[in-house]
Amino acid sequence: MTDLTEISFELILSIFVVIFLFAAVYLLIRLRISEKKRIESEARFQLLESKINKLELQTLESKLNPHLFKNILNSIQSHAYQTYYALDKLANVLDYILYESRNKFVTPKEEIDFALNLIEINKIKVSPLFELKVKTKIHESEPLLEQRLLAPLISIDLIENAFKHADLQSSDAFIAVTFEFRESVFSLTVANKISAKSPMKKEKGGIGAETLEQRLKIIYSENFKLDRFTEGDVYIAHLKINLLEHKAKMLAAR
């Protein structure tokens, strides 16, 4: 009788063990299937997000380039006596827009050279007494200076905004532009004395400012900082992009 009871107990225990093992295997399979579906869903979402971002960037850039080109031509047309010099700079700007800006990224050195040409074109609009200061603080030994990590045309809005809102014919006004590249961080600071005159109304405006904000968020996420503020009658814009952190995220995403 005792033997029969022990056998029955062992049989029941064995059955429970088998059931437990089957349940554990079933749950494990379900978890793996669920995890696989989650990974596939995330991959599809990231692919969709990437396509949306790419489409949005293409749309923004298609608005940006004609807007820039129109402003440049207006500058040259209003000062025909300096046309030859301006056209020489315009050729460099157009090469950059037509060829380099088609790339997703350019080097910080290429973007800074482009911005300096853009400033030279805008200089033809200012009075000889107008104070225009341009500084470059670049460490040539920086390893990322010649690497394609910077979005093209990222400096346009801040520079054009300064020329648009300063009194270019006043000897009391000024524009100060500083480019800096140190410890893999690209920085652009633009300051200008705000004109006391009423700003001219434009049929279509704000494209550059809106485009810059959207592009920075899409491309650099948390790796940038853009500050715009006023101190008295001076407007200051400061852009800083940590290209080393951006590069690390790009490599991690591969």
Residue found by looking up tokens 């494209």 in the block: 207
What pLDDT score was predicted for residue 46?
A: 66
Secondary structure of residue 214 in the 3-state scheme: helix
Q: Which residue has the tokens 């059955």?
A: 15
pLDDT of residue 202: 41
In this prediction, residue 198 carries a pLDDT of: 42
Whether the pTM exceeds 0.75: the reply is no
Domain with 226 in it: 2-252
Residue 234 maps to which CATH number?
3.30.565.10
Low-confidence ranges of the chain (pLDDT < 70): 1-18, 20-24, 34, 37-38, 40-86, 197-210
- CA 201 to CA 219: how far, in whole Å? 31
Q: Say what the pLDDT of residue 205 is.
A: 42
Cβ(186)–Cβ(241) below 8 Å: yes
Residues 93-123: pLDDT tens digits?
A: 778 877 777 788 999 999 999 999 989 888 8
Domain count for the chain, please give it.
Answer: 1
Say what the pLDDT of residue 38 is. 67
